[in-house]
Structure 1
């Protein structure tokens, strides 16, 4: 497995990462993991790799785009001196172009260039300290590439992939796992709104992430 013993990993992102975590909970303590993929990853690491003593910290926040994430990066990520950082951000940056914010003529919508430059700044602030950064692709539960929102998510995911390649980071293509699932099964099995996974959808995300670190499901 890629993770080293006695290491700390911070998961940063939006509501998909947050998934109902208790903000007042002690980091890596009861209630701090939420009910989504971070909790599933933590459970898998504890159950099959107990001697590794991996500390998992969930710092997802509902509604975050990359600008909001950047505003709290030092406090919520760097301050923990993590050995590993996993980032899942971008779907809200896209979504705001299609929800009520678009009709409000807001000036804080994140375009592709701002997404790229801000993401690079987060990487720059973290890369020297962390042993590895995992860049997770933003994703949607929709196979229709002609859908305007899915098409834009695809472009933001391409930016995330380019940044991972440029900075020699690990890119985890969650959209590929989602698309594979949707080839045979309807999206309503794993999501109610094409964006937020239910438990089965979070299992897709967790499985893809664990495979990226060479997690051995047959270890016991």
Structure 2
């Protein structure tokens, strides 16, 4: 396993990470982050990890900039998991929300800067997870954009020697024998089985 005894593992991102962690499902949410925490704890109960969820629904990389000091750096993680980009892409495909979309160049520069800062100030290791769109056709416009942003995450994972969680690839695998509606009503916000797909992609790397 990648984690060492007593380490602090922080997750930050958007609604997929949030999953009610600020209200009825406090403090971990009822999504992939809590599944990762639960299965890792069950498999390695003696390691004594501290788990922190800092997801906020609706966030883009622009929102992470505003709260990076308090929600990433001040948490002093040993490991920081970042899953961001779904809203950055999605808003470009929603009428009336285009101005809030984050172009890929801005996304790249902003995320690189955030990662550089947190590594320099905390010495943490990084886990970078792809944004995703639960769509089997790679030519579909939002899916095509998502693949481009995933390529950015892959590049940054290599730059920072980070673990790379290929969440889009994980959904591509299950979509070979299922439909998007089996995992999420809106192709973005999964039910528990969809969160399990994400969590399994994490656990494959952690273990």
Fold equivalence (TM over 0.5): yes
Please list every run of 5 or more consecutive structure 1 residues that lacks an aligned counterpart in the other structure.
215-220
Equivalent pairs, count: 206
Q: Does 1:40 align with 2:35?
A: yes
Equivalence for 2:158? 165
Q: Please, which of 170, 182, 186 is the counterpart of residue 193 of structure 1?
A: 186
- Aligned to 1:31, the other structure's residue is in SS state coil
Distance 2:51 2:197 in 1: 19
CA contact (8 A) 1:137 1:160 kept: yes
Distance 1:5 1:136 in 2: 23
Equivalence for 2:5? 5
Distance 1:145 1:164 in 2: 22
Equivalence for 1:20? 20
TM-score, length-scaled by structure 1: 0.89
Distance 1:99 1:84 in 2: 34
Equivalence for 1:66? 61
1:12-161 pair list within 5 angstroms: 12-22=12-22, 31-102=26-97, 106=99, 108-128=100-120, 129-161=122-154
CA contact (8 A) 1:132 1:169 kept: yes
CA RMSD of aligned residues (A): 1.5
Distance 1:46 1:113 in 2: 38
CA contact (8 A) 1:45 1:54 kept: no
Distance 1:145 1:109 in 2: 20
TM-score, length-scaled by structure 2: 0.95
Tell me by how many angstroms 1:182 deviates.
0.3
Please list every run of 5 or more consecutive structure 2 residues that lacks an aligned counterpart in the other structure.
none
| CA deviation map 1:156-204 (0-9, x unaligned) | 1111111111222111111111000000111211111001111000000
Distance 2:195 2:140 in 1: 23
Tell me by how many angstroms 1:77 deviates.
1.1
CA contact (8 A) 1:85 1:130 kept: no
Distance 1:145 1:170 in 2: 24
Spell out structure 1 runs of 4+ moving beyond 4 A. Answer: none
* Structure number having the greater helix percentage: 2
